Each structure stands twice: as structure tokens, then as C-alpha cells.
Amino acid sequence: MGAGVIVLLEPAIDDDLGWPDAMQRALQRQGIGTVTKVAFRFPEATRDADTQYFGWIGQHPGRWAYVVNYETFSDTPVLMPLSFGAEAFEVKAMSEADMVGDPLAALRNLMGSDLRDPLDWRSTCWSQNRWTRGAYRFPKAGSGPEDWDGWQEWGGEVLLFASEHTTWDYHGTTHGAWLSGIRAAETLLDDIR
């Protein structure tokens, strides 16, 4: 070998790219899920500034069921509600007004109706991105660690994959994606040397 590409994107499931059999099997045996996150920046700290995570079950279980409070590790008053599973896909189909109003209503149910209006907001679009098609990989029935670790090899001798789906120990995590990028870069450098 002597050339390679580090790919940090999810592989396309509908293409036959001539990847090794282990990678083809892994692709079929890993599921892909999504999480929709909406981060709100508020003008001031909330009264629960020392609590990092909140759990909440509303009318639609899974919708805005988990809230991360950035105030516990940042000077910026940010609350980020998350939706999981089928609810993550449902909320991504909302209008922009509902994408703000729905999680904000959930936050006010959780934290009190006196929660002020946010100064700004941002949301993720992982499930709608044609390159990612979701946010994380998960093991489907019959899958095992080999389906994650198999991605660490060269794909058809020209591709290296790096993402959370290439490590069993840290799949589904940002640090798994980061560490896999380091591993892929080291593999490439070793091959070039």
C-alpha cells in the first residue's frame, strides 16, 4: 500500500464498493439511530445551575426526555434537550417554529414557567444529512464486537474508516469517533513510512 483516505463519514448502505466481507457483514449487522438535539442559550443562569442532567417524561416518551445543562461546565447558560428513537425523526419533521416551541415548552414544564425566552438556538440534523443518515451505530440482533472492530482494517486497500462505529469499546460516543480518527491516522502514517 502507500496511499489511503481517512473517511470520517458513515458508509452508504446501498452501494457495493467492493469492501472486504467483514465490513459488508458489519454494515448489515449494525443499526443506525439518531438523536435530535436543540441547544438554547439563555440570558442568565437557571436556578438549577448545579445539576448537569435532567430526565423528563412528557406526553411523548423519548421526546425531549433528556436535558444537558452546560452551566455545570461552562460559563454560558445553555440547556440542550434531546429526543431519541422514533421521536427524534418526528421532531425533525417539525416546522422551525415548532422546533423551538416544542422543546422550550418541555423545558418550561421541567424547570418552571418562569424560564425566560432564549437568546439563540441551534439544532442537529443528523438523520437528514445524506452523508451520515443518523447519529450513531448500534448492535442489531446477532451483532457483536467483531462488527465494530472489523472496520479498523483497510477497506479494499484504499479506504480507512474512522468514526464511532469502528470501535466496540466506545461506539456511539464522540470520544470513540475522536479516538478512531487518531487510530486511522496512525495506521496511515505507519503504512506510508
pLDDT digits (tens, 9 = 90+) for 19-45: 777 777 888 888 888 888 999 999 988
Please give the pLDDT value at position 192.
77
Q: pTM for the complete prediction? A: 0.68
Single out the residue of 109, 102, 72 nearest to residue 88, CA to CA: 102
The sheet that has 120-123: what strands, in order across it? Answer: 53-55, 66-69, 78-84, 35-41, 120-123
Interval 99-125: pLDDT, tens: 899 999 999 998 889 999 999 999 887
Q: Over its length of 193 residues, how does the chain's per-residue pLDDT go in tens digits? A: 333 333 334 444 445 556 777 777 888 888 888 888 999 999 988 767 788 888 888 788 889 999 999 888 888 899 999 998 888 888 888 888 998 999 999 999 988 899 999 999 998 877 777 777 777 788 888 888 888 877 777 766 677 788 888 888 887 788 888 998 898 888 888 877 7
> Which candidate, 72, 70, 86, places its Cα nearest to that of 34?
86
pLDDT at 79: 94
pLDDT at position 171 is 78
Task: Tabulate helix, strand, coil % of the chain (nearest 5).
Answer: 35, 20, 45
What's the angle, vertex CA 144, arms to CA 35 and CA 31, rounded to 5? 30
pLDDT of 117:
94
pLDDT recorded at residue 18: 66
